[in-house]
Amino acid sequence: MSQKIYVTGIGLISAIGDNVEQTLDSLTRGKTGIGELELIDTIHKTRIKVGEVKHTNEELIKRVGLPADTKITRTSLLGMIAAKEAMMWAGIKDTNDFRTGIVSATSVGGMAITENNFNDYLNVEKTGDFLDYILTHDCGDSTEVMAKYLHIKDYVSTISTACSSSANSIMLGARLIKNNMVDRVVVGGSDSLSKFTINGFMTLMILDKEQCKPFDKDRKGLNLGEGAGFIVLESERAAAGKEILCELTGYGNSNDAYHQTASSPTGDGAFLAMEKALRLSGLKPKDIDYINAHGTGTEVNDLSEGTAIHRIFGDAVPMISSTKAFTGHTLGACGGIEAVLSVLAIKYNLVFPSLNFTNQMNELKFRPSTVLETEHPINHVLSNSFGFGGNSSALIFSRH
Amino acid sequence: MEALIEQLKQEIIAQLNLDGLKTEDINPDTPLFGDGLGLDSIDALELIVLLDKNYGLKILNPADGKKIFQSVRSMAEFISENKK
Amino acid sequence: MENTTKITAACVIENGKVYVNSKLDFAAEGSATSLDFLKAAYTHYQLNYPKFYKMDSLCKLAMVASELLMRTNRINEKYASEAIALIIANGASSLEIDTEHQVSIADEANFFPSPAVFVYTLPNILIGEIAIRNKIKGENTFFIFDTFDEDFIHSYTDSLMNNDKAKCVIAGWVDFYEDKYRAFLYTVERTNEGEAHTTTNINKLIDNKLNFERN
């Protein structure tokens, strides 16, 4: 008898809100978070649109209640805020009553600070407490900092597999519970914007200068975003007596085996990930009520993902949308943020609109939902996250 | 134009590490991507770097790249039209 | 002994020599550089995969070793693409190409980072290249160790096989840095034939002392 995996807490911060409540408000009112870049000083400032969290690091430090001179990265701060909200939601006050773990994902870690301090680090003449930041560069540091803040000691791990990172941290968390290694685990991811990411995506020429248009025939690329999203997974024993938000019933990860960065036009990796997740959940494709797509708005992703969706669902594609046009593509955090949105979709029977969509792609038969759907029961949500290198993941959340 | 095409072929072979390929193996009119030379999206970015490095020509919109990188000849035409 | 894990084939590349199943298969000791040797092996074995030339040295090495392994026991014909796993490690990560990339961006006046170089600045890309070439879609993981940790790789491999996460595992070591290189890759399958999958036999195979002829 397989252990059930319950979702008992959710928390997030992104360009569309500092917490679950604000996020839900933006989503239901169709209010995007994508706009001008304000907090990073880069030559590309006027060339791109981003989903930025409009609080300085100083403000975020104050919000988490740390001393003003704390040497901490934006990735850690965003993660702390989202993970704390998720734990509060789950009513976890004591982390000693059950074995508690954290698996956090990130793609940039402390890069946003390293890139500003780099030349000073190399200059042996320069000394000062800025050198403390060196230790914050590593991706794992953000998880360690979060674990300390949340008093989590039993299992601490970091995952970095590009844009599928936090979907994979959710998978790992579920497997830890199933293998009786922890009783509950805080899972998700956090990523801050950085020049490193902006320059990298500029070089790849896959950024839309305007608002991104997922699944549109005339899509021009993605908008980068930042934020963090976490959920709390608990075993049946740990969750006893709590409000169960939903269950994580399926997950799958696969290897597209096509190209170093691009997804295959046939969507093999995406297909396999969705197929594995469905098989694990015991559900049929027709049971899925809503697909929260990866839908980045790049030419390659949306074609590859859309093709794979047709391979799984045939012509009977359920309601589908990409929320990237709200939040931007938050890279290592997107799987966590979209997991929270999937849980909200089930809790409130919502399908969030795919913003900026006008023209259907010739290659696909479906159109994403473009208005907020409130009239349909949403019992099973499929959430996709696909990363560079063909690392493809799919999660299925189901009503309890 | 023919001299430029020949030079471009050598530069493409060097930039894209197409070892084992000789300039006479590349027909100036066959497509560089897809069925032709079988180049991929990373190679396209390399060609953009090549135009910048060797000819000082910047391509900011990848959609323009599609037209310019149709063949070695179209690349040569773009260079001779735009080179200062 | 059916239903136990066996080492079914191996390829070792070091010091200008290629060994397949512990037997010397190709030597080009006269090669001026390690890269020349790898290109000579590519030509000798007629790999016929033009993408080889675009790869960094680490991936070229992985390509030759994995290709010979595939030719020897044809696992990609025997198993579904999702049933083959790749568990590979090395010591120098991708430092060879990292250094090359760093040199290309060190001079601000001559700043032309190459996307084709950049994509190789992660060691696990070699697993990706093997997967792309052979359409392998099973579990894949890359580790970095000071030296090959046969206990760890052995238990990881057996765990995948015993939990039905893979029917065949390609495991081993692929390392290339500052003109020095070493690769050994081997396949583990559940079969009657082959040598028992034990750390002792893995070590024998690395020293080319494993006798594949007996069966």
B62 with A205: Cβ contact below 8 A: yes
The nearest CA of chain C is from the CA of B28 a distance in Å of: 19
Which residue of chain B is at minimal alpha-carbon distance from C40?
A: B20
The nearest CA of chain C is from the CA of B21 a distance in Å of: 9
To the query of whether residue A44 is one of the catalytic residues in this protein, the response is: no
B40 with A205: Cβ contact below 8 A: no
Kindly state whether residue C213 falls inside one of the protein's structural domains: no
- Report the Cα C158 to chain-centroid distance in Å: 18
pLDDT of the residue at C215: 43
Query: Under an 8 Å CB criterion, which residues of C touch A?
Result: 81-82, 113, 115, 119, 124-125, 128, 131-132, 135-138, 140
Domain count, chain C: 1
pLDDT of the residue at C3: 74
What is the residue range of C50's domain? 4-206
Round to whole Å and give the CA distance between A293 and A281.
18
- Measured between beta carbons, the chain C residues lying within 8 angstroms of A272 are 82, 137
To the query of whether residue A380 is one of the catalytic residues in this protein, the response is: no
Is A290:A378 a contact under the CB 8 Å cutoff? Answer: yes
% of chain C residues with pLDDT over 70: 98
B&C contacts, CB < 8 Å? 29
Q: Stretch A317-325: mean pLDDT, rounded?
A: 98
C1: pLDDT strictly greater than 80: no
A1: pLDDT strictly greater than 70: no
pLDDT tens per residue across span C173-197 = 999 999 999 999 999 999 988 899 9
Q: What is the pTM of this model?
A: 0.90
**Most confident option among A100-104, B57-61, C34-38, C123-127:** A100-104
Is A346:A246 a contact under the CB 8 Å cutoff? Answer: yes
B42 with A203: Cβ contact below 8 A: no
pLDDT-derived band of residue C208, with 50, 70 and 90 as boundaries?
Answer: confident
pLDDT of the residue at B40: 84
pLDDT tens per residue across span C117-149 = 888 988 989 999 999 999 999 999 999 999 999
Kindly state whether residue C212 falls inside one of the protein's structural domains: no
Which residue of chain C is at minimal alpha-carbon distance from B50?
A: C112
The answer to whether B41 faces chain A, any CB pair under 8 Å, is yes
pLDDT-derived band of residue C2, with 50, 70 and 90 as boundaries?
Answer: low
C161-168's contacts with Cβ under 8 Å and 24+ in sequence apart are C161/C5, C161/C188, C161/C190, C165/C85, C165/C138, C165/C139, C166/C83, C166/C84, C166/C85, C166/C138, C166/C139, C167/C79, C167/C80, C167/C83, C167/C84, C168/C75, C168/C78, C168/C79, C168/C83, C168/C84, C168/C85
In the block, tokens 């030296």 appear at: C147
pLDDT tens per residue across span A34-56 = 999 999 999 999 999 999 999 99
Is C136:C54 a contact under the CB 8 Å cutoff? Answer: no
Please name the amino acid found at residue A289. D
Kindly state whether residue C20 falls inside one of the protein's structural domains: yes
B63: pLDDT strictly greater than 90: no
Kindly state whether residue C104 falls inside one of the protein's structural domains: yes
A261 with B45: Cβ contact below 8 A: no
% of chain A residues with pLDDT over 90: 94
CATH code: domain of residue C151: 3.40.47.10
**Catalytic residue (choose from A137, A294, A310, A380):** A294
Kindly state whether residue C68 falls inside one of the protein's structural domains: yes
The answer to whether C190 faces chain B, any CB pair under 8 Å, is no
Round to whole Å and give the CA distance between C81 and C92.
29
Averaged confidence pLDDT in chain C: 92
Kindly state whether residue C215 falls inside one of the protein's structural domains: no
ipTM field: 0.82
Domains and CATH numbers, chain A: 6-398 (3.40.47.10)
pLDDT tens per residue across span A196-251 = 999 889 888 899 999 999 999 999 999 999 999 999 999 999 999 999 999 999 99
pLDDT tens per residue across span C70-106 = 999 899 999 999 999 999 999 999 999 999 988 888 8
User: Residue C209 class from Cβ within 10 Å (0-12 exposed, 13-18 middle, 19+ buried)?
Assistant: exposed
The nearest CA of chain C is from the CA of A80 a distance in Å of: 29
Round to whole Å and give the CA distance between A51 and C144.
35
The nearest CA of chain A is from the CA of C140 a distance in Å of: 8
The answer to whether A179 faces chain C, any CB pair under 8 Å, is no
pLDDT tens per residue across span A384-393 = 999 988 899 9
% of chain B residues with pLDDT over 70: 95
C57: pLDDT strictly greater than 50: yes
Averaged confidence pLDDT in chain A: 96
CA torsion A341-A346-A347-A353 (nearest 10°) is 50
- Specify the higher pLDDT residue, A156 or B60: A156
To the query of whether residue A212 is one of the catalytic residues in this protein, the response is: no
Kindly state whether residue C33 falls inside one of the protein's structural domains: yes
pLDDT tens per residue across span A162-175 = 999 999 999 999 99
Kindly state whether residue C56 falls inside one of the protein's structural domains: yes
C110: pLDDT strictly greater than 90: no
pLDDT of the residue at C213: 66
